[in-house]
Structure 1
């Protein structure tokens, strides 16, 4: 692994220099105004992330390549009170998910978000559809355009595929702010065909209450997140939380959130299937600030999360127990017109009631910004340990969004 890490680092630094010579400065996306004051418009944003991966996994083909994300997001309003948003694309297209003629499931585009909203007061909005106004934590509402790390902390998308479709629910939401306090709350339908396809068991819950007990018993979920903005105010126009401002703002937020799915888990009690409430609570802190006039900046984040998915629940990366996660990044001095570097590290500890072992995830990487967050390269080494299983991965990512 060490030999490959140094080789990839050399490729990464060489590629950075080549791409920087031709990298234009992007901003704003494509916006089409339909009136003179710009209040009636259509805005389109597109982005793509490409990965080259080297892994310790026995079945891995090294290096392997994949399109991590290819997305198009559009939103439009006819006046300041009404807005409609559509977001579609695909994820993790690789040799194992491609199909010969591009017609199978892994090759297909699908809607990530489709919602409409109405402004009822200057700072308060209600809406509905397939949406991303999630509860729990900042990272459960993370944008994929400007993450500090290579990707989001996987366990922070806390119900992905278990109660929702790719971290999105169909339901209604309200969002807004009272001074420096921002909020988002939602009531949603829970997915029936979740990733947890197991039958009910004795002594161990499965997250399949909607399927096994019926939507009447376990069909609704409730979520919310609030954060207090002590310094600069972040925009809450869209639900996607920024990962790193690269010193463009001075932000210090403290937040807390929840997720409740009554009877969302199912467990056998003798021959009878009974439901258990899924309850997730979290508190987090986010700090992003310029350090001087030379372009250096600091980004830091930490979260503590209590997860109850049912008695002794453990499935994939998710389990009843606690999670602690944090990351830290430092932007080296520079300007938007030049290449900027941002080394970072991240660490997560997940404890599970069902087993004595903890899951730990350590990540160390560097972002090379060719044109701010609009064009960057990321090189990351990640090491995961859970029981006797250890996995090391080196990933090089190229990303552009317009």
Structure 2
């Protein structure tokens, strides 16, 4: 106790002495100290300047000339949404909800890429997608918790010569269309239509492939081709469990997947170091591209063609009538992005794509992005999957068309600190499986606007969607979705 009191007493005495010295009068006979000189007025603050372009962002040079470097990109896209659910949807089993207001993580990602020199490139991309309070996680008994942090891309690339780079690993050098290779950082609309990733989470891993690729540019001609292994999928499926004459992914598929995309760049050339295609340049480039692509996978699909024997045999693959069918996709697209009036800062962005899908007999697939429901929503479309929440027929054997256009308003519309870019989009799906049951084609309408606080690096997007509800395929009704996306990437 003495050891504690001693330093406390000494500290108090020192503090008192210091305070006394600060307030005591000057000694007699000495003139008082002169008053301090008046302080100079602080310099006038400079007028605010325009936002500095983001440029290379979080880039670290590893050599004086910058030939060796790495860059880190981090982004979050948060959705606050009102959704009118499909008929019969339940938030969780036993909790029916005709509409939902929720918050979710559409994407939360980190991308790192580095170059030892212009001949070598490495990309590492990881993150999560589509987590809300009821789904997207892997918690035991709590399906919305602890979403799976997984590798999106892990690839290495080597420049063989001027016109060709080759790479391998888990990659995003996709075929089919420009939007199949889309960057999620600079969409024009609030999200992709998902028709652009027609095999997502089936024979690919979240639109990524395990394989090898070649890419390059010859003059104004840009290309990317790849050979990949299909991921094993539908492992519990047998022909005995399939609807009659409705194809699904073949669980015994081991054939390579071939794909490619080719584009001719009539005006400005786009960067092709990374595989991510820009959605809107906000008037910084004049781009006019025509593109075409393909995907092919032999015997990727399987369909039952006859009755299932009773009792069901031990090996239904050999005893239940079935056939294997190839998966083939073709596309053609057009992308146009140009400043309209550079002084006013206006710009136009437009994109159009046509897909021809061959997934086998009457194949249709329902998908609901960041689905707010986990139960209910029965579907009368054979083999298409549930129609809970916001799901609808997104892809299928047949064709689809997607159009979008946006206009960047003048810089003085909202003042110096923000820009406004309204847009509209339309997706049309013409699928054999819907025709087979006498249902209508798919139409999805989007109308929205981007509020750009610092270009695409910091923005809000407000989107209104009219979405078809196929709970009764002979009487399709349209349900509204209103989504506010908050996005920042650094």
Do they fold alike, i.e. is TM over 0.5? yes
Match of 2:223 among 161, 170, 183: 183
CA drift at 1:191: 1.2
Query: Distance between the aligned counterparts of 2:145 and 2:263, measured in 1?
Result: 38
Residue 420 of structure 2 aligns with which residue? 341
The structure with the greater share of residues assigned to strand is 1
**Contact 2:71/2:113 (8 A) holds in 1:** yes
* Paired residues of 1:136 and 1:225 also in contact (CA < 8 A): yes
Query: For 1:37-74, what per-residue CA distance to the aligned partner results, in whole angstroms no more than 9, with x for missing partners?
Result: 11111111111111100011153664200111111000
Label 1:120 to 1:376 Cα distance change in 2 as closer, same or farther (>3 A): same
Please give the residue correspondences for 1:266-345 in structure 2 after superposition, counting only pairs within 5 Å: 266-270=302-306, 271-293=320-342, 294-316=344-366, 317-334=394-411, 338-345=417-424
The CA deviation at 1:238 is: 0.6
Q: Which residue of 2 aligns with 1:366?
A: 449
Give RMSD over aligned pairs. 2.4
Q: CA deviation at 1:29?
A: 2.1
Instruction: Give me the whole-angstrom Cα distance separating, in 1, the residues matched to 2:457 and 2:237.
Output: 39
Residue aligned with 2:223, SS: strand
Specify the alignment match of 1:74 in structure 2. Answer: 112
Matches within 5 A, 1:196-207: 199-207=241-249
Q: Which moved more, 1:254-263 or 1:192-201?
A: 192-201
Aligned-pair distance for 1:252?
A: 0.2
Tell me whether 1:86 sits opposite 2:124 in the alignment: yes
Distance in 1 of aligned mates of 2:108 and 2:180: 20
Match of 2:264 in 1: 228
Q: 1:67-216 counterparts in 2 under 5 A? A: 67-97=105-135, 98=137, 107-194=147-234, 199-207=241-249, 209=250, 211=251, 213-215=252-254
CA contact (8 A) 2:131 2:144 kept: no
Which has the larger displacement, 315-324 or 221-230? 315-324
CA contact (8 A) 2:244 2:304 kept: yes
Determine the C-alpha separation between the residues in 2 that align with 1:77 and 1:103: 39
| CA displacement, residues 133-180 of structure 1 (integer Å, 9 cap, x when unaligned) | 111111111110000000001211111112201000100000001110
Aligned to 2:483, which of 386, 395, 399? 395
Task: Report the TM-score when normalising by structure 2.
Answer: 0.73
**Number of equivalences:** 376
Residue 60 to residue 35, structure 1, CA distance change in 2 (3 Å): farther
Query: 2:63 corresponds to which residue?
Result: 35
Cα offset, 1:390, TM superposition: 2.3
Instruction: Give the conservation status (yes or no) of the 8 Å contact 1:136–1:259.
Output: yes
* Mapped contact 1:27–1:374 kept (Cα < 8 A): no
Give the distance between the partners of 1:384 and 1:206, measured in 2 at CA.
Answer: 25
Q: Out of 348-357 and 239-248, give the one that drifted further.
A: 348-357
1:236 and 1:50, CA in 2 relative to 1: closer, same or farther beyond 3 A?
same
User: Residue 259 of structure 1 corresponds to which residue in structure 2?
Assistant: 295
Cα separation, 1, equivalents of 2:242 and 2:194: 25
**Is the alpha carbon distance of 1:302 and 1:107 closer, same or farther for their aligned partners in structure 2, counting shifts above 3 Å?**
same
The equivalent of 2:6 in structure 1 is: none
Counterparts of 1:308 and 1:323, CA distance in 2? 12
TM-score (norm 1): 0.88
Return 5+ residue gaps in structure 2 as ranges.
1-50, 90-96, 307-319, 367-393
Contact 1:337 1:371 in 2 (8 A): no
**Other structure's SS at 1:355 match:** helix
Larger gyration radius, structure 1 or structure 2: 2
| Aligned 8 A contact 2:132 2:144 in 1 | no
Structure 1: which 5+ runs fail to align?
1-22
Equivalent residue, structure 1, for 2:459 = 376
